[in-house]
Amino acid sequence: MLGTFQQSQLRVEIGATASQLNQAILRTAQLRQWLFPQILTGNLLAELSPGLTFTSWIGFVPVEHNVDAVETEGLRLILSRGIDGIHEWQWGDGWVQSCLEGVSFLPLQAGNTATLLRLKAYLALAEKFRR
């Protein structure tokens, strides 16, 4: 893979429980909603599980995700094609952390920031409708 090795480690406060974060990150129907405008393709099951492989499209750039590990409050993805690297998620009550590192031409810090902001906005909107 050509590109530059990059790292992005972000942790943000989110007005959601660990259970709500678990559902938003691991359930593919919710994942598709808050990751928009990224498009997810592949044989996605209802929930991410180890061994599952899918592709997200960032514009015309495909990024293949292989689900390496899923925990109650964590997820590890092995990335290839547009990004050769690892994306790890951890979460708990009121917070989420995303660590992304790899070789890519894509600006990983900007992308990671945008992804966390979309997740935060999605959960804030969901909370508003629950009230």
Q: How far is CA 88 from the centre of its chain?
A: 8
Full strand arrangement of the beta sheet holding 39-41: 4-13, 95-104, 84-92, 74-81, 61-71, 53-58, 39-41
**Tell me: the pLDDT tens digits for 1-14?**
689 999 999 999 99
CATH number of the domain where residue 39 is located: 3.30.530.20
CA-CA-CA-CA torsion sign (101, 117, 40, 97): positive
Q: How many domains does the chain have?
A: 1
Give the chain's end-to-end CA distance (angstroms, integer). 47
Which domain range does residue 113 map to?
A: 4-130
CA distances from 45 to 8, 13, 26, 77 (A): 28, 29, 10, 16
Predicted pLDDT of residue 131: 64
Omega within 30 of 0 (cis) for the link into 62: no
Predicted pLDDT of residue 129: 76
Q: How far is CA 52 from the centre of its chain?
A: 14
**Tell me: the pLDDT tens digits for 84-104?**
999 999 999 999 999 999 999
Low-confidence ranges of the chain (pLDDT < 70): 1, 131
